């Protein structure tokens, strides 16, 4: 064996151990990485309809939500308890609550809700409406933050319009408003009871009396001629 060959063998021997150690370290690191990743739970978070998939070592629902920056308020809705333990494949649905105002014939109440539509909110608050009532938004309208739902309650009443009588529903406030809604026009001498300024109420009867001016003039003229 020449001196040069001996030197090359010595160099290879010198690097063999470090290379083996390096390879061993890499293998161990890869094992730990795959073990670490393999022990994570795959979780699906649905926040206000937006889907996020995460892999986590968090132990509870509260921990994973905190890690994802989801702050749950006391009025918000969670599909599982915040204290529940995470399980692989778990789905967590989070619905943030919205603040809305319900104005029911002047009676206002502020509520927090996670419902989707106005109809669902009213049902949740035990508020019923009739088809004749007037709302400023449709019952199937989507709930929006700071929305106001205004309800005008209808009343049932009768109108004696000259010789014609009808029963009707209205959300108007006064007799004058009702006459305008029904397109009932009065001359100066015609009469209506109750007065035009009277507030409408359930089971009220509004009586409209038309005065025939020509007939009255004849009666007055006849009385003057006969000294009645």
Domain boundaries, the chain: 41-95, 98-152, 155-214
Q: What is the CATH number of domain 41-95?
A: 3.10.20.30
Q: In terms of CATH architecture, what is 98-152? A: Roll (3.10)
* Identical topology for domains 41-95 and 98-152: yes
CB 114 within 8 A of CB 95: yes
Residue 96 — very low, low, confident or very high, per pLDDT cuts 50/70/90? very high
DSSP H helix total and E strand total for the chain: 5, 12
Quote the CA–CA distance of 130 and 124 in Å, as a whole number.
16
Residue 203 — very low, low, confident or very high, per pLDDT cuts 50/70/90? very high
Average pLDDT in the 8-29 region?
58
Q: What is the pLDDT of residue 67?
A: 86
- Its pTM stands at 0.67
Class of domain 155-214: alpha beta
Q: What is the pLDDT of residue 42?
A: 85
What percent of the chain lies above the pLDDT cut of 90?
52
pLDDT digit string, tens, across residues 133-182? 999 999 999 999 999 999 999 999 999 999 999 999 999 999 999 999 99
């Amino acid at each position: 064996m020449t001196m040069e060959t001996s030197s090359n063998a010595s160099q290879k021997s010198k690097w063999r151990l470090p290379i083996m150690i390096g390879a061993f370290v890499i293998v161990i690191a890869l094992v730990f990485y795959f073990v670490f990743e393999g022990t994570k739970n795959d979780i699906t978070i649905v926040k206000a309809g937006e889907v996020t998939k995460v892999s986590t070592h968090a132990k509870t629902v509260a921990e994973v939500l905190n890690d994802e920056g989801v702050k749950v308020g006391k009025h918000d809705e969670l599909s599982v308890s915040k204290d529940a333990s995470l399980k692989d494949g778990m789905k967590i649905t989070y619905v943030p609550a919205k603040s809305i105002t319900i104005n029911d014939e002047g009676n206002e109440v502020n509520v927090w809700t996670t419902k989707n539509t106005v109809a669902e909110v009213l049902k949740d608050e035990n508020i019923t409406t009739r088809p004749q009532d007037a709302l400023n938004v449709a019952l199937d309208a989507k709930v929006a933050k700071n929305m106001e739902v205004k309800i005008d309650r209808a009343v049932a009443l009768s109108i004696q319009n000259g010789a014609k009588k009808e029963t009707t529903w209205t959300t108007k406030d006064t007799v004058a408003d009702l006459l305008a809604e029904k397109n009932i026009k009065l001359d100066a001498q015609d009469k209506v009871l109750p007065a035009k300024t009277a507030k409408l109420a359930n089971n009220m009867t509004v009586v409209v009396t038309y005065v025939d001016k020509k007939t009255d003039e004849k009666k007055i003229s006849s009385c003057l001629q006969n000294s009645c």
